[in-house]
Protein backbone atom coordinates (compact mmCIF):
# COMPACT_ATOMS: atom_id res chain seq x y z
CA UNK A 1 0.00 0.00 0.00
CA UNK A 2 1.15 3.54 -0.74
CA UNK A 3 1.29 6.27 1.86
CA UNK A 4 2.17 9.96 2.00
CA UNK A 5 5.81 10.69 2.85
CA UNK A 6 4.91 13.98 4.53
CA UNK A 7 2.25 14.54 7.19
CA UNK A 8 1.35 18.08 6.13
CA UNK A 9 1.02 16.94 2.54
CA UNK A 10 -1.29 14.11 3.62
CA UNK A 11 -3.54 16.52 5.50
CA UNK A 12 -3.69 19.39 3.02
CA UNK A 13 -3.20 17.82 -0.42
CA UNK A 14 -6.24 17.39 -2.65
CA UNK A 15 -4.50 16.78 -5.96
CA UNK A 16 -6.16 13.38 -6.15
CA UNK A 17 -9.55 15.12 -6.06
CA UNK A 18 -8.53 17.45 -8.90
CA UNK A 19 -7.18 14.51 -10.93
CA UNK A 20 -10.33 12.46 -10.38
CA UNK A 21 -12.70 15.25 -11.39
CA UNK A 22 -10.46 16.10 -14.35
CA UNK A 23 -10.83 12.51 -15.58
CA UNK A 24 -14.61 12.89 -15.32
CA UNK A 25 -14.43 16.20 -17.22
CA UNK A 26 -12.41 14.67 -20.07
CA UNK A 27 -14.78 11.70 -20.30
CA UNK A 28 -17.89 13.89 -20.12
CA UNK A 29 -16.59 16.21 -22.85
CA UNK A 30 -16.13 13.22 -25.17
CA UNK A 31 -19.68 12.07 -24.39
CA UNK A 32 -20.95 15.59 -25.04
CA UNK A 33 -19.26 15.76 -28.44
CA UNK A 34 -20.64 12.36 -29.44
CA UNK A 35 -24.10 13.43 -28.24
CA UNK A 36 -23.86 16.57 -30.37
CA UNK A 37 -23.08 14.42 -33.43
CA UNK A 38 -26.13 12.25 -32.77
CA UNK A 39 -28.33 15.30 -32.23
CA UNK A 40 -27.26 16.80 -35.56
CA UNK A 41 -27.40 13.49 -37.42
CA UNK A 42 -30.93 12.80 -36.20
CA UNK A 43 -32.38 16.10 -37.48
CA UNK A 44 -34.67 16.27 -40.51
CA UNK A 45 -31.91 18.12 -42.38
CA UNK A 46 -29.34 15.35 -41.91
CA UNK A 47 -31.33 12.11 -41.39
CA UNK A 48 -28.16 10.07 -40.89
CA UNK A 49 -29.51 8.25 -37.82
CA UNK A 50 -32.77 7.60 -36.02
CA UNK A 51 -32.69 7.64 -32.23
CA UNK A 52 -34.99 5.14 -30.52
CA UNK A 53 -38.29 6.46 -29.12
CA UNK A 54 -37.13 5.13 -25.76
CA UNK A 55 -34.53 7.90 -25.60
CA UNK A 56 -36.50 10.66 -27.32
CA UNK A 57 -39.64 12.65 -26.58
CA UNK A 58 -42.34 14.16 -28.73
CA UNK A 59 -42.78 17.87 -29.25
CA UNK A 60 -45.44 19.60 -27.14
CA UNK A 61 -46.54 21.50 -30.27
CA UNK A 62 -45.47 19.68 -33.44
CA UNK A 63 -46.78 16.10 -33.70
CA UNK A 64 -44.20 15.11 -36.34
CA UNK A 65 -41.18 16.23 -34.31
CA UNK A 66 -39.02 13.98 -32.16
CA UNK A 67 -36.57 15.49 -29.67
CA UNK A 68 -33.30 13.69 -28.75
CA UNK A 69 -33.72 14.67 -25.11
CA UNK A 70 -31.31 12.18 -23.53
CA UNK A 71 -28.46 13.21 -25.83
CA UNK A 72 -29.23 16.88 -25.19
CA UNK A 73 -29.18 16.33 -21.42
CA UNK A 74 -25.79 14.60 -21.64
CA UNK A 75 -24.47 17.56 -23.63
CA UNK A 76 -25.97 20.03 -21.15
CA UNK A 77 -24.63 18.30 -18.05
CA UNK A 78 -21.07 18.51 -19.32
CA UNK A 79 -21.04 22.10 -18.07
CA UNK A 80 -21.94 20.81 -14.62
CA UNK A 81 -18.90 18.53 -14.45
CA UNK A 82 -16.62 21.27 -15.77
CA UNK A 83 -18.11 23.59 -13.16
CA UNK A 84 -17.24 21.07 -10.44
CA UNK A 85 -13.62 21.12 -11.60
CA UNK A 86 -13.49 24.92 -11.47
CA UNK A 87 -15.20 24.75 -8.06
CA UNK A 88 -12.56 22.58 -6.39
CA UNK A 89 -9.62 24.40 -8.03
CA UNK A 90 -11.07 27.70 -6.82
CA UNK A 91 -11.34 26.32 -3.28
CA UNK A 92 -7.70 25.18 -3.28
CA UNK A 93 -6.08 28.10 -5.07
CA UNK A 94 -5.37 30.25 -1.98
CA UNK A 95 -5.46 27.86 0.98
CA UNK A 96 -2.55 28.06 3.43
CA UNK A 97 -1.09 24.88 4.95
CA UNK A 98 -2.34 22.64 6.22
CA UNK A 99 -5.96 21.62 6.96
CA UNK A 100 -8.74 24.17 6.52
CA UNK A 101 -12.46 23.66 6.82
CA UNK A 102 -12.75 24.77 3.19
CA UNK A 103 -11.59 21.27 2.25
CA UNK A 104 -14.98 19.92 3.29
CA UNK A 105 -16.18 21.40 0.02
CA UNK A 106 -14.35 18.72 -1.99
CA UNK A 107 -16.99 16.03 -1.41
CA UNK A 108 -19.95 17.33 -3.39
CA UNK A 109 -17.97 18.03 -6.61
CA UNK A 110 -16.49 14.50 -6.50
CA UNK A 111 -19.79 12.69 -6.01
CA UNK A 112 -21.63 14.95 -8.44
CA UNK A 113 -19.01 14.53 -11.18
CA UNK A 114 -18.84 10.76 -10.79
CA UNK A 115 -22.61 10.29 -10.77
CA UNK A 116 -23.14 12.58 -13.77
CA UNK A 117 -20.38 10.92 -15.80
CA UNK A 118 -21.42 7.32 -15.08
CA UNK A 119 -25.11 8.04 -15.73
CA UNK A 120 -24.26 9.81 -19.00
CA UNK A 121 -22.03 6.92 -20.06
CA UNK A 122 -24.71 4.33 -19.35
CA UNK A 123 -27.45 6.26 -21.16
CA UNK A 124 -25.32 7.04 -24.22
CA UNK A 125 -24.33 3.38 -24.42
CA UNK A 126 -28.03 2.45 -24.61
CA UNK A 127 -28.74 5.17 -27.19
CA UNK A 128 -25.98 3.84 -29.46
CA UNK A 129 -27.08 0.22 -28.95
CA UNK A 130 -30.60 1.03 -30.21
CA UNK A 131 -29.79 3.60 -32.90
CA UNK A 132 -30.76 3.05 -36.55
CA UNK A 133 -28.14 4.00 -39.16
CA UNK A 134 -29.31 5.33 -42.53
CA UNK A 135 -26.46 3.94 -44.66
CA UNK A 136 -28.03 5.03 -47.93
CA UNK A 137 -28.23 8.63 -46.73
CA UNK A 138 -24.55 8.61 -45.75
CA UNK A 139 -23.52 7.22 -49.13
CA UNK A 140 -25.68 9.64 -51.12
CA UNK A 141 -24.24 12.61 -49.25
CA UNK A 142 -20.73 11.55 -50.24
CA UNK A 143 -21.52 11.54 -53.95
CA UNK A 144 -21.79 15.29 -54.36
CA UNK A 145 -18.83 16.12 -52.14
CA UNK A 146 -16.02 15.49 -54.67
CA UNK A 147 -13.98 14.02 -51.80
CA UNK A 148 -12.54 11.40 -54.17
CA UNK A 149 -10.63 14.22 -55.86
CA UNK A 150 -7.66 13.42 -53.63
CA UNK A 151 -7.68 9.82 -54.87
CA UNK A 152 -7.52 11.09 -58.43
CA UNK A 153 -4.59 13.35 -57.52
CA UNK A 154 -2.84 10.29 -56.04
CA UNK A 155 -3.38 8.39 -59.30
CA UNK A 156 -1.90 11.22 -61.37
CA UNK A 157 1.14 11.37 -59.09
CA UNK A 158 1.62 7.63 -59.61
CA UNK A 159 1.72 8.37 -63.35
CA UNK A 160 4.74 10.59 -62.77
CA UNK A 161 2.98 13.97 -62.73
CA UNK A 162 4.02 16.40 -59.98
CA UNK A 163 1.62 16.92 -57.10
CA UNK A 164 1.21 20.60 -57.96
CA UNK A 165 0.26 19.81 -61.57
CA UNK A 166 -1.97 16.90 -60.48
CA UNK A 167 -3.75 19.23 -58.07
CA UNK A 168 -4.34 21.74 -60.89
CA UNK A 169 -5.67 19.10 -63.31
CA UNK A 170 -8.14 17.66 -60.81
CA UNK A 171 -9.17 21.20 -59.84
CA UNK A 172 -10.12 21.84 -63.46
CA UNK A 173 -12.08 18.59 -63.53
CA UNK A 174 -14.04 19.51 -60.40
CA UNK A 175 -14.73 22.98 -61.80
CA UNK A 176 -16.13 21.35 -64.95
CA UNK A 177 -18.35 19.03 -62.90
CA UNK A 178 -19.69 21.90 -60.80
CA UNK A 179 -20.54 23.95 -63.88
CA UNK A 180 -22.23 20.89 -65.41
CA UNK A 181 -24.06 20.13 -62.12
CA UNK A 182 -22.61 16.62 -62.08
CA UNK A 183 -20.81 14.45 -59.54
CA UNK A 184 -18.13 11.81 -60.05
CA UNK A 185 -20.69 9.02 -60.44
CA UNK A 186 -21.93 10.63 -63.69
CA UNK A 187 -18.47 11.43 -65.06
CA UNK A 188 -17.42 9.66 -68.28
CA UNK A 189 -13.93 8.82 -69.48
CA UNK A 190 -14.41 11.01 -72.57
CA UNK A 191 -15.13 14.00 -70.32
CA UNK A 192 -12.02 13.26 -68.27
CA UNK A 193 -9.86 13.05 -71.40
CA UNK A 194 -11.07 16.49 -72.49
CA UNK A 195 -9.47 17.85 -69.33
CA UNK A 196 -6.31 15.79 -69.80
CA UNK A 197 -5.60 12.89 -72.21
CA UNK A 198 -3.62 10.98 -69.58
CA UNK A 199 -6.83 9.75 -67.94
CA UNK A 200 -7.81 6.13 -68.68
CA UNK A 201 -10.04 3.32 -67.37
CA UNK A 202 -7.78 2.81 -64.37
CA UNK A 203 -8.32 6.45 -63.37
CA UNK A 204 -12.08 5.85 -63.37
CA UNK A 205 -11.55 3.01 -60.87
CA UNK A 206 -10.10 5.56 -58.47
CA UNK A 207 -13.52 7.24 -58.35
CA UNK A 208 -15.14 4.23 -56.66
CA UNK A 209 -15.91 4.73 -52.95
CA UNK A 210 -15.42 1.11 -51.84
CA UNK A 211 -12.16 0.77 -53.74
CA UNK A 212 -10.97 4.09 -52.37
CA UNK A 213 -11.44 2.83 -48.82
CA UNK A 214 -9.70 -0.44 -49.68
CA UNK A 215 -6.63 1.41 -50.93
CA UNK A 216 -6.10 3.12 -47.57
CA UNK A 217 -3.41 1.06 -45.85
CA UNK A 218 -1.99 3.28 -43.09
CA UNK A 219 -2.83 2.60 -39.45
CA UNK A 220 -5.94 4.49 -38.34
CA UNK A 221 -7.28 4.84 -41.88
CA UNK A 222 -10.99 4.28 -42.74
CA UNK A 223 -10.22 0.99 -44.51
CA UNK A 224 -13.08 -1.33 -43.36
CA UNK A 225 -10.64 -4.10 -42.43
CA UNK A 226 -8.62 -1.74 -40.25
CA UNK A 227 -11.79 -0.47 -38.61
CA UNK A 228 -12.67 -4.09 -37.75
CA UNK A 229 -9.20 -4.58 -36.26
CA UNK A 230 -9.63 -1.44 -34.15
CA UNK A 231 -13.03 -2.60 -32.90
CA UNK A 232 -11.58 -6.00 -32.02
CA UNK A 233 -8.68 -4.38 -30.19
CA UNK A 234 -10.85 -2.08 -28.07
CA UNK A 235 -13.38 -4.82 -27.30
CA UNK A 236 -10.51 -6.94 -25.95
CA UNK A 237 -9.27 -4.03 -23.83
CA UNK A 238 -12.76 -3.47 -22.42
CA UNK A 239 -13.04 -7.16 -21.52
CA UNK A 240 -9.67 -6.95 -19.73
CA UNK A 241 -10.82 -3.91 -17.75
CA UNK A 242 -14.09 -5.60 -16.75
CA UNK A 243 -12.25 -8.76 -15.65
CA UNK A 244 -9.75 -6.78 -13.61
Task: Give residue 143's pLDDT.
Answer: 76
pLDDT digits (tens, 9 = 90+) for 88-101: 999 999 999 999 99
| Structure confidence at residue 1 as a pLDDT band (50, 70, 90) | low
Mean pLDDT of 146-151: 94
- For the chain, give me the number of helices (H) and strands (E)? 11, 4
pTM of the model: 0.84
| Structure confidence at residue 152 as a pLDDT band (50, 70, 90) | very high
Mean pLDDT of 106-133: 97
Q: Which domains does the chain have, with CATH numbers?
A: 7-135 (1.20.200.10), 144-215 (1.10.40.30)
SS3 assignment for 131-184:
CEECHHHHHHHHHCCCCCHHHHHHHHHHCCCCHHHHHHHHHHHHHHHHHHCCCH
Give dist(CA 203, CA 182) in Å, integer.
18
Planar angle of CA 188, 194, 196, nearest 5 degrees: 105
Exposed/middle/buried for residue 142 (C-beta within 10 Å: 0-12, 13-18, 19+): middle
Amino acid sequence: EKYFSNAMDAISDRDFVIDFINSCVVGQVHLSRLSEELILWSTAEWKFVKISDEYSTGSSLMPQKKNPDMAELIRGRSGKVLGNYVNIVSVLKALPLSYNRDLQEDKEPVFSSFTTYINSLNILNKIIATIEINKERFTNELKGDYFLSTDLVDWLVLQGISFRESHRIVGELVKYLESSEKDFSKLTLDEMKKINPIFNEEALEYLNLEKSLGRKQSQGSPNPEMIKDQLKKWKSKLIEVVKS
